[in-house]
Each structure stands twice: as C-alpha cells, then as structure tokens.
Chain A
C-alpha cells in the first residue's frame, strides 16, 4: 500500500449521504446529498425517511465523488464506512454498500467511528493548498450536531479517544430545531434561530444553563442537558401567548442561543483548563452557529487555548472525514475490519475502528 493511501469513505449515519475520497490527508472529493428537506415538515430527522433517501442517493453520490476526485475505483487502497454511532437503519445502507464495494474491488474495508471522524475532518487539506497547520494532540474536541453533543479528549486519532461527557437528553442541534418549532420557525431550526437572534437581546430572558449548578458539576462536569432549557423556552412562550402578548421572537431566539453557546463553550474551555490541554477543536453542524463561534473564540483566547474549526463543509456529516480516519489507521499500520462487522448505533467513541 502506498505511503499516502487512497481511501473512499461512505457516511450514512443520519440524514446526509456522504462520499469522500482522500489521499492521506489530502482531500480529493467531498460529495454530500442531504434528505433534510424531506424531514422539514416533521420538525426533525425521521429515521425511515433518512434510510430510504440514503439508498436513493448512494449511487449518484458515489459516482460524483469518483468523478470529482479524478480517480478510478480500482486505484483505491481501501474502502471506509461509518459503523456508528448513528441511526441503525441508515448506517446499514452504508455498511452494506461499503462491504460490497470493497469485496467487488478486492480492497480492504475499514469501518470507523463517526464521532472520531468529526475530529479527523480537521486534518484534511485541499491538494496543493497550504496545510492548515498540523492538528496538535492531545486536543479537546467539542462535537455538536442534531444527533450528538460530545466532549472528547483526543490523544491520538487512530487509537486514543476518551469521552469526557455528552448530552444526557437532547442534542444541541435538536434543541435548536425544537425551539425553532415553538417559535413557529421552519426546520432546520439552527440557522433560523441564528438569523432571528441577530436583532434580539441575548439578555432579555435568563434561560437556564443545564448541568452547571455546583451539585450537577460533581457528577456531570462535562455532560450537557438541553431539555430543561427547551421546556423553559416553551413555558416562557406559553405564558406570553396565554396573556395575549406578542412573542418577541428575536429576543427569545437570542436568549436561547446565548444559553446554548454559553454552556457549550464554558464546559469545553473548562475541560481544556482542567486537563491542561490548551487546544480545542469544534465539529458538527451546530458549529455553523455564529454565537457559538464568537463565544468559543473569545473564551479560548482568554484561556490561552488555541481554537480550530474545520471548514463548514467538513463540519457537517461527510464521507471525507470517514476516509481520513481510515487513512490514518492504515498509515499507523492497523489492519482492516472484519467482514462481519455491523452497524452499531451506539458505538463508543473509544472504538475508533470497529
């Protein structure tokens, strides 16, 4: 196998069908099809709709990625796929396709962890383009999307990732989507709230910050909770409506966004400080949030923590990050996954390769 392995990665853990192709850390293609619009009227990802959409989108996405990369499938050194965590019916479409692709091409299969993939997205750079600077390890990683809110300590991308904490109820993106619905804003709610919040006063309503009381910090120092926040917003809105008063959407959106950004960044920076790791990496779709980005930058600077945020096209779910992790595993000398590997909806983050 070449020193810089050519790897194709397939990602189908949620509502994005992603196929990416990398050569080592060089990004050759990153094609994504999303079924987001089909979920819009339900206010959240419907697993069966997502799984059906993956099967429909897979072929075109794969062919587009191969064309974009300007390679032939037979040139590949390996096929990679997300094994989990994620929606099991959705994951299985990718696993079935990846196994067959690998076997029909006579290439090894690498089934890897989706969350570690989000961290791996950071090492990718465009061919010829300047490197974004090496990802230094160890680093703390905060991954926030519609399905995940996880704080990780990453010592090695290939075999040493530790889960510091995660949400005990809703994911942050899910909270954005649910609160948007309460405010009568369309799905996906994150961008809508972000936009509405621009004209609002973030101090208008003091919404609760989940798991930040001293007693909660004992057992849940790095865990998150957003369902109480969502309920608080719902109560606030109901009270106004019951009183026949208009709901100040901008103020509520700004105050809610502030609460989420505050907790996310406070806990992430606390982990950096507590553990003496002056590096923070962000990943997941919620990283698009303007307030999360500014607050993270401010607090990181104040704490002497260097902040890394991959380009947004690599922050949301994609196949390139999956290929990137597999390439790292290959370069570190790890062998392929067993052909009997399955989709594991709760794959722990400590398992980089299943």
Chain B
C-alpha cells in the first residue's frame, strides 16, 4: 500500500493498494496554501487507509517541477512519513503521473509533451513517448518561455493544471514492476535560487 504526495501544482495525496486500487484520494487546487492543506488532506487519507487491512509499504513523493515553495512542502512531508513509518521513499517526477494518465486513457499517442506552469512567464516541459506500463521520458524536464514554446514536429503538447496523486502512485508501481530506477528524492528546481548580490552602496 502506497501513500503518494504531490505539491508541485496544488496539493494532492492518495493511498493506493499494491494492485493499483485507489483506496483514498484527496486534493486541493489552491496553489498557495500547501503548508495549510497538507494537514487535513493527509489526515483524511490516512484515516481512510486505516480501515484497510494492509499497512503502508512505501511513500511516493512528486518531485516536480513546480513552484519551489509549495513543492518543498510535499517532499518534506513525504520524507517525514517515510521516517515515521520506517518505510522507503520513492521519488517520481510529477509530469510522469500526468503522462501515465494520458497514455492509459488513450489520449496521448506517439510523442507528447507534458507542460505545467513555472511562473515568470515560463513553462516546464517534459517530453514522453506513449507506452505502457510506463511512458518513457524522451526529454527530461526543462523550462521554456511560454511565448516561445513550440513543440517539436510530431510532439503533441498537453498542459496540466494538477498532478493526480493516485497516478503518481501508479507510476511508482509501474517503475517497481519493471525495474526502472527511481530518481533521487530532490526537487526538480530547474532554476538557480533567486539571489541579488548586493554591493554596499555609497550613502553620501
């Protein structure tokens, strides 16, 4: 039984059984209040899982890309659950959850791009090849100016507003089943920290 947490867009949490059955799923589309809503949402899915016989075996963290402040909340929470329960943490790129859903639903075929907003008039883009049980990453996540974004020939773009946590767990299950390695549980920041190097100014 897996707990998946993603805060790369809104806040999404889900508990999924080993066979893929979704036991509980909750989300909030709010893109500013991750630290607040993660509490009630986690509490609700954990309570729902309690009535299930199985025990949590893995925590899955969506590692973005996404706005940093929110993204960190989910990864921090996922790490904490893994420590509290003494279970492994599996990191999954958030775009992979969307790619899996699109492929399973037959919406995406061939090559396609998952796009999410990256603020500052940029989008984050990952290009996949539609295949099951797991879409293959063709181009890893990168930033493009929204105005300049033009998908390559034959690549269909899909812009996502939210990351379904159950799909994130399904992607983790697919990786486990096929032996595809997991990335490190580090945020996909894609941008260096914003710092302005100030030099002491004259005052007179």
Interface residues in chain A, defined as those with a beta carbon under 8 Å from any beta carbon in chain B = 41-43, 46, 48-49, 51-52, 54-55, 58-59, 62-63, 73, 88-89, 91-101, 103-105, 109, 178, 181-182, 231, 234-235, 238-239, 338-343
A104-B85, A182-B200 known; A49 and B69 CB under 8 Å? no
A92 touches B69 (CB 8 A): yes
B83 touches A43 (CB 8 A): no
Q: Give, as a whole number of angstroms, the nearest-CB distance from A272 to chain B.
A: 35
8 Å CB contact of A96 from B35, B83, B84, B195: B35
8 Å CB contact of B80 from A46, A52, A100, A181: A100
A99 touches B77 (CB 8 A): yes
Return chain A residues, CB-CB under 8 Å to B195.
42, 46, 48-49
Q: Mark B60-100, 1 if CB is under 8 A from A, else 0.
A: 00000000110011111111110111000000000000000
Return chain A residues, CB-CB under 8 Å to B75.
55
Return chain B residues, CB-CB under 8 Å to A342.
33, 35-36
* Chain B 24-47 interface residues, beta-carbon cutoff 8 Å to A: 33-40, 42-43, 46
A235 touches B204 (CB 8 A): yes
A181–B199 Cα gap in the complex (Å)?
9
A94–B80 Cα gap in the complex (Å)?
10
Return chain A residues, CB-CB under 8 Å to B33.
342
A73–B36 Cα gap in the complex (Å)?
23
19 intermolecular pairs with C-beta atoms under 8 Å apart: A42-B197, A46-B193, A48-B68, A54-B72, A58-B79, A63-B83, A93-B76, A95-B35, A95-B73, A96-B7, A99-B42, A100-B42, A101-B80, A104-B80, A105-B84, A181-B200, A234-B202, A238-B204, A339-B43
Return chain A residues, CB-CB under 8 Å to B178.
none
Return chain A residues, CB-CB under 8 Å to B194.
48
Q: Give, as a whole number of angstroms, the nearest-CB distance from B15 to chain A.
A: 12
Return chain A residues, CB-CB under 8 Å to B197.
41-42
A340–B38 Cα gap in the complex (Å)?
8
A94–B187 Cα gap in the complex (Å)?
16
Apart from A93-B73, A94-B76, 7 more pairs, CB < 8 Å: A55-B75, A96-B35, A99-B77, A100-B77, A238-B203, A338-B39, A339-B43
A51 touches B77 (CB 8 A): no
A55-B187, A92-B34, A93-B73 known; A73 and B200 CB under 8 Å? no
Of B33, B39, B74, B85, the most chain A CB neighbours within 10 A belong to B39
B36 touches A88 (CB 8 A): no
Of A54, A100, A101, the most chain B CB neighbours within 10 A belong to A100
B198 touches A99 (CB 8 A): no
A58–B75 Cα gap in the complex (Å)?
11
Return chain A residues, CB-CB under 8 Å to B202.
234, 238
A94–B77 Cα gap in the complex (Å)?
9
A46-B195, A96-B34, A103-B42 known; A51 and B69 CB under 8 Å? yes
B80 touches A98 (CB 8 A): yes
Cβ-closest chain A residue relative to B202: A238
A92-B73, A103-B42 known; A340 and B204 CB under 8 Å? no
A93 touches B83 (CB 8 A): no
Return chain B residues, CB-CB under 8 Å to A73.
83-84
A99–B202 Cα gap in the complex (Å)?
46
A93 touches B72 (CB 8 A): yes
A239–B204 Cα gap in the complex (Å)?
9
Cβ-closest chain A residue relative to B11: A96
A98–B37 Cα gap in the complex (Å)?
13
Q: Give, as a whole number of angstroms, the nearest-CB distance from B42 to chain A.
A: 5
Return chain B residues, CB-CB under 8 Å to A63.
83
A55-B72, A55-B76, A93-B76 known; A340 and B42 CB under 8 Å? no
Return chain B residues, CB-CB under 8 Å to A101.
80-81, 83-84
Q: Give, as a whole number of angstroms, the nearest-CB distance from A67 to chain B.
A: 12
Q: Give, as a whole number of angstroms, the nearest-CB distance from B62 to chain A.
A: 13
8 Å CB contact of B81 from A43, A104, A178: A104
A105–B83 Cα gap in the complex (Å)?
10
Return chain A residues, CB-CB under 8 Å to B68.
48, 51-52, 89
Q: Give, as a whole number of angstroms, the nearest-CB distance from A8 to chain B.
A: 11
A48-B195, A51-B68, A95-B73 known; A59 and B83 CB under 8 Å? yes
Return chain A residues, CB-CB under 8 Å to B72.
51-52, 54-55, 89, 92-93, 96
A341–B37 Cα gap in the complex (Å)?
8
A93–B83 Cα gap in the complex (Å)?
15
Q: Give, as a whole number of angstroms, the nearest-CB distance from B29 to chain A.
A: 16
B84 touches A88 (CB 8 A): no
A94–B81 Cα gap in the complex (Å)?
13
A338–B43 Cα gap in the complex (Å)?
11
